């Protein structure tokens, strides 16, 4: 699976996400306008460094959009706390094998290293009034290694 598949799976596995999502899947690159929905948007992959053997440390940037209930202060506070707890959980994900990078010529093995989060915030109301829900965002930076082809 790619790093996008991997992070989507991890978000789905977040123990508290079911409370929020009601069993729905995490969307990719869009989110439904109704509360409560999540979408994971991928916005770029970059090479951080490469070692002498050709192994690469890469970073993939995501923005997770979430439409949450927003009628009362209580629900808005719950949404913010949800994003805060999700950030803590993501930043404690262990290193893990299982990522692949398809270069066109070959499929290279990869390893998830760590995730960090930033800018968890309310973006905009989903309608004319705040009672239609609020769009939240959480930026996620996932670092992973791609192993080079073995020369020997």
Partner 1 sequence: MAKIKRQFMANLVNSALPGDTPVWNRLGKDLEEYIVEMNANVETKNNILGETSVTLDSYQPQASVEPYYAEIGDPLFDRLQEIVDDRQTLDELETETLEVHLWEETTDGVYVAYKEDAIVEVVSYGGDTTGYQIPFNLHNTGNRVKGTYDTKTKKFTVAA
By CB under 8 A, the count of residues binding partner 1 is 10
Interacting span for partner 1 (CB under 8 A) from 37-45, 53-61, 120-128, 131-139? 53-61
Residue 99 CB-density burial (10 A; 0-12 exposed, 13-18 middle, 19+ buried): buried
Question: Is 55 near partner 1 (CB under 8 A)?
Answer: yes
Pairing of the two strands 134-146 and 56-68: antiparallel
104 near partner 1, judged by CB under 8 A: no
Residue 140 three-state SS: strand
The span from the first CA to the last CA of the chain, in angstroms, equals: 26
Phi, psi dihedral angles at 87 (to 5 degrees): -60, -45
Phi and psi of 29, rounded to 5°? 65, 5
* Residue 49 within binding range of partner 1, rule CB under 8 A: yes
Write the binding mask 5 to 44 for partner 1: x where contact by CB under 8 A, - elsewhere: ----------------------------------------
Q: How far is the CB of 95 from partner 1 (least distance, A)?
A: 10
Answer yes or no whether residue 53 interacts with partner 1 by CB under 8 A: yes
Chain residues binding partner 1 by CB under 8 A are 49-55, 148, 151-152
């Amino acid at each position: 699976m790619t790093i996008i598949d991997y992070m989507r799976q991890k978000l789905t596995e977040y123990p508290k996400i079911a409370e929020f999502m009601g069993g729905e899947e995490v969307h990719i690159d869009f989110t439904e306008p109704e509360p409560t929905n999540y979408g994971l948007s991928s916005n770029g992959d970059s090479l951080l460094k490469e070692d002498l053997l050709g192994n690469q440390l890469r970073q993939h940037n995501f923005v997770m959009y979430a439409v949450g209930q927003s009628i009362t202060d209580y629900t808005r506070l719950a949404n913010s706390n949800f994003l805060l707890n999700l950030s803590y959980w993501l930043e404690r994900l262990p290193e893990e094998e299982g990522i692949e990078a398809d270069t066109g010529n070959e499929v290279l093995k990869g390893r998830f290293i760590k995730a960090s989060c930033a800018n968890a915030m309310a973006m905009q109301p989903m309608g004319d009034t705040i009672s239609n829900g609020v769009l939240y965002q959480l930026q996620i930076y996932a670092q992973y290694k791609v192993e080079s082809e073995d020369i020997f």
